[in-house]
Structure formats: structure tokens, C-alpha cells
């Protein structure tokens, strides 16, 4: 089962054939059941970066739960029969249509998980925090919706997300939310946990293209220090924040003073991806060894599937030559027609 965001709907066929899949059946608004010879192709192919989340399905029960008497009990017993002898760290169950306004499937997923946990050994039943999963250890993930129940065992890292379906919901309605980009960095930092630890509290970030400051405020809220640059101003609510230095200028002319060393660079600059990554590379000489880069790869004016892939390859080639190693790339829930790329600065560069 693969999940392709609706923002990529015009590329669905190319994505499905790109991972070597032969047939597809749509489930909910963003999921597809596909048949592949080699599930590893899903993550590794060019098309893999368009796939938010994936799960090898080992148990499926196509049915309409709303019309099925005793669905929760029957489904929980079936899950236990199928997976009772397998080894995994936790059980998490989500809904096939996470955007549904009707909460029926949200509570069904929660009730089904509750009942299934009663049937499994204590160790699994005690596992409550999604974030506490070991990203390398298999978890039993299930998704339920009006098309039925679909379950499989896979590590969060191979599935590409700690949550069933890959989405961590981040509220964007708080009165102090400056821009929706705040949710993007919050989700990116959560996703990062599957690959490495986040920079320690107090670490100094360099932020390129920061206005109006949604991401800046998220970083400051995590007790990071931020040097932010944009040719447009930041939201007034960030004025005088003790952890923030802001430069109203073009990134092209920015040069940090003295021996400033950053633990991380964040770039959400709009415009050509090649221009943006050139700025990141130039400024990465001020990044510590092992330092982190989070880069939004935007695709303005890039119309086709092939052009998006070419832009991605060009960015990764230029960063590799500069000693920045790509260790993860994904399409986050809060990404539009763009990807979030994660790099680490080589220890030797
Ligand atoms: C998508 S917005 C950033 C949103 C921001 N991350 C937030 O959290 O609110 C992109 C920003 O990049 C800035 N930008 C693009 N190229 C730039 C450059 N060369 N120098 C300075 N700012 C640049 C734009 O002015 C714009 O404010």
C-alpha cells in the first residue's frame, strides 16, 4: 500500500509505474494498493520521493465496517490470528481518510487498537507513545476506512513515518501561528527523529528565506538561537526576541561575521532550487562538521514529472560535491508541490 499526496495527483500513473508496480486500486483519497516485485524499489526509485508512506499488506479485509455488526471484535480477533506469532514492537492503527470530517473512522481506529491490544502480550500493549518507537524495529501498522482494514508489519523507517499513514497532525490554528510553514518545520523535526537526533537545545541555526517567520518562531520555541535572513521583514511578533538576529537583506550578500559556526541551516527560500542550494552550499562553510541542513526543494515553473526528478538530481549532485550528504528526503503533509531534503555535513569536508 502506498500513499501519494493529492498534490501529485497528475503524476499518479508515472509514480506507480516508476516504482515498478503493475496494478493499482485506490483506497480513500490518497492510498493505492499496488503489486510490486521488489518493495525496496518503492523507496529507492526516482518515484519513491513522491510516496509519503508505504506498507506491505499482509492482512486485508475489504468490507464496509459501518455495515458490519461487531466489526471491532471480528477485526481484532483476525489481527491476533494473523500476527499473534510475529515479532514487532507496537501496534498503531490509523484511518484511510485522515482528512474526513466525520470522526467515525477515527474512533473506530482507536477502539480497534484498544481491543487488539487486549489480545496481545503486555509488552506490546504497554507501548503508548508513537515517538518512542525504534525506527529500525518493525511495528504492526493498520489502516481502516470505508474500504475495509489493511495491516502489515514494517519498521517506521522503511514505511517512511512513525504514524500510520505518515502524517503527524500539527495544529495551525493557534492564535500565535505566524505562517503555515511553522507546521512544516515542526513536522520535519519530527520526521528527522527516525534518522538522527535533532540539534541540542541552544544550538545556533542559520535560516535562509525566513519571512514572515513561521519556521523562525518554531525554532525559537524549541529554545534554539536563530540567525534569519530575508529580503522581506519578519512578523512584528518576533521583534526583540532574545534568541533571534535578523538581517533584512538578500541571502546572496550575507556573510556571517567572524568565526560564527552554525549547527544547522534551514532553507525555505522560494525561487529556483538551483539558486537556493547554491546559497546553502556557499554558507555551509560556516556549518559544523556533522551539522544538519533542512532544505525545501521547491518546483516553481517545473511542470513535468521528469523535470522535478532532474531538479532533484541536480540539487543532490551539487550538494554531494560540496560535502553535504543527503540522508533523507520526503514529501511532508505540510509540503505543497515541494519536497523536504535532509543533509549532513561530512566530517572531513
Ligand atoms: C516560502 S517563503 C518563506 C516562509 C518562511 N519559511 C516562514 O516560515 O514563514 C520564501 C521566502 O524566501 C525569501 N527569499 C527568496 N530568495 C531570497 C534571497 N535571495 N534573499 C533573501 N530572501 C529570499 C522570500 O523573500 C520569501 O520571504
- Domain of residue 231, CATH code: 3.40.50.150
- pLDDT at position 99 is 75
**Domains in the chain, number:** 2
- Model's pTM, two decimal places? 0.95
Instruction: Assess whether 86 and 185 both reside in one domain.
Output: no
The verdict on residue 216 lying in a domain is: yes
Q: Would you state the pLDDT for residue 348?
A: 60
- Decide which of 103, 128, 159 is a domain's last residue: 159
Q: How far is the CA of 100 from the centre of ligand 1 (A)?
A: 32
Question: For a substitution probing ligand 1, which of 221, 222, 231 has the most ligand atoms within 8 Å of its CB?
Answer: 231
Average pLDDT over residues 307-329: 96
Same domain, 198 and 301: yes
Residues 51 and 117 in one domain: yes
* pLDDT of 130 strictly over 60: yes
Separation of alpha carbons 318 and 116, rounded Å: 49
Sheet of strand 338-345, all strands in order from the earlier edge strand to the far edge: 244-248, 225-230, 204-208, 262-267, 287-298, 338-345, 324-330
Could you tell me if residue 168 is inside a domain?
Answer: no
Select the more confidently predicted residue: 280 or 347: 280
Average pLDDT rounded to a whole number, residues 66-94: 96
Domain that holds residue 117: 2-159
Together in a domain, 258 and 201: yes
Ranges 107-116, 117-126, 264-273: which has the least confidence: 117-126
**What's 199's DSSP letter?**
P
CA of 323 to the centre of ligand 1 (A): 24
| Alpha helices for 193-288 (secondary structure H) | 214-221, 273-283
pLDDT tens, residue by residue, 85-113: 999 999 999 999 877 777 999 999 999 99
Comparing C-alpha atoms, which of 189, 180, 257 is closest to residue 223? 189
Q: Please name the residue whose Cα sits nearest to atom 16 of ligand 1.
A: 269
CA of 301 to the centre of ligand 1 (A): 17
**What is the CA(2)–ligand 1 centre distance, in A?**
32
Where residue 64 sits, what CATH number does that domain have?
Answer: 3.30.2130
Residue 177 grid coordinates: 501561528
> What is the rounded CA–CA span in Å between residue 214 and residue 235?
9
| Beta pairing class for 51-54 and 59-62 | unpaired
Q: What is the mean pLDDT of the segment spanning 48-64?
A: 96
Q: CA 188, 169, 146 angle in degrees (round to 5)?
A: 125
pLDDT digits (tens, 9 = 90+) for 196-221: 999 999 999 999 999 999 999 999 99
pLDDT averaged over the chain? 93
- Note the pLDDT tens digit of each residue in 151-187: 999 999 999 999 999 988 887 777 778 998 999 999 9
Pairing assessment for the beta strands 51-54 and 2-4 based on DSSP bridges: antiparallel
| Alpha-carbon separation of residue 248 from 20, 133, 227, 305, 324 (angstroms) | 47, 41, 11, 35, 27
Same-domain check for residues 102 and 148: yes
The ligand 1 site (C-beta within 6 Å) comprises 179, 181, 209-215, 229-232, 250-252, 268-271
Q: Is residue 41 predicted with pLDDT exceeding 80?
A: no
Asked, for residue 166, whether it belongs to a domain, the answer is no
Q: What is the DSSP letter of 249?
A: S
Amino acid at each position: 500500500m502506498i500513499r501519494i499526496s493529492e498534490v501529485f495527483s497528475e503524476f499518479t500513473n508515472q509514480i506507480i509505474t516508476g516504482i515498478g508496480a503493475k496494478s493499482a486500486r485506490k483506497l480513500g483519497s490518497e492510498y493505492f494498493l499496488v503489486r510490486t516485485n521488489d518493495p525496496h524499489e518503492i523507496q529507492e526509485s526516482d518515484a519513491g520521493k513522491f510516496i509519503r508512506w508505504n506498507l506491505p499488506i499482509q492482512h486485508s479485509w475489504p468490507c464496509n465496517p459501518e455495515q458490519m455488526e461487531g466489526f471491532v471484535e471480528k477485526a481484532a480477533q483476525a489481527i491476533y490470528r494473523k500476527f499473534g506469532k510475529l515479532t514487532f514492537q507496537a501496534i498503531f492503527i490509523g484511518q484511510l481518510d485522515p482528512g474526513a470530517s466525520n470522526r467515525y473512522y477515527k474512533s473506530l481506529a482507536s477502539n480497534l487498537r484498544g481491543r487488539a491490544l487486549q489480545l496481545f502480550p503486555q509488552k506490546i500493549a504497554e507501548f503508548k507513545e508513537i515517538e518512542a518507537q525504534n525506527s529500525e524495529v518493525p511495528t504492526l501498522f493498520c489502516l481502516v476506512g470505508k474500504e475495509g482494514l489493511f495491516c502489515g508489519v514494517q519498521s517506521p523507517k522503511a514505511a517512511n513515518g512513525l504514524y500510520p499513514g505518515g502524517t503527524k497532525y500539527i495544529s495551525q490554528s493557534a492564535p500565535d501561528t505566524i505562517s503555515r510553514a511553522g507546521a512544516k518545520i515542526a513536522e520535519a523535526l519530527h520526521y528527522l527523529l527516525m534518522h538522527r537526533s535533532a540539534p541540542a537545545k541552544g544550538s545556533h541555526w542559520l535560516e535562509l528565506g525566513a519571512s514572515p517567520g513561521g519556521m523562525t518562531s518554531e525554532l525559537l520555541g524549541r529554545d534554539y538561537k536563530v540567525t534569519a535572513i530575508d529580503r522581506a521583514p519578519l512578523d512584528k511578533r518576533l521583534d526583540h526576541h532574545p534568541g533571534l538576529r535578523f538581517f533584512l537583506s538578500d541571502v546572496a550578500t550575507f556573510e556571517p561575521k567572524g568565526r560564527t559556526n552554525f549547527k544547522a541551516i534551514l532553507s525555505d527560500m522560494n525561487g529556483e532550487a538551483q539558486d537556493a542550494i547554491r546559497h546553502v552550499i556557499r554558507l555551509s562553510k560556516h556549518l559544523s562538521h556533522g551539522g544538519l541542513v533542512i532544505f525545501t526543494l521547491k518546483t516553481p515553473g517545473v511542470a513535468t514529472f521528469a523535470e522535478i526528478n532532474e531538479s532533484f538530481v541536480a540539487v543532490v549532485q551539487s550538494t554531494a560535491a560540496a560535502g553535504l550528504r543527503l540522508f533523507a528526503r520526503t514529501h511532508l503533509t505540510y509540503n505543497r508541490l515541494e519536497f523536504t531534503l535532509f543533509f549532513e555535513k561530512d566530517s572531513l569536508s
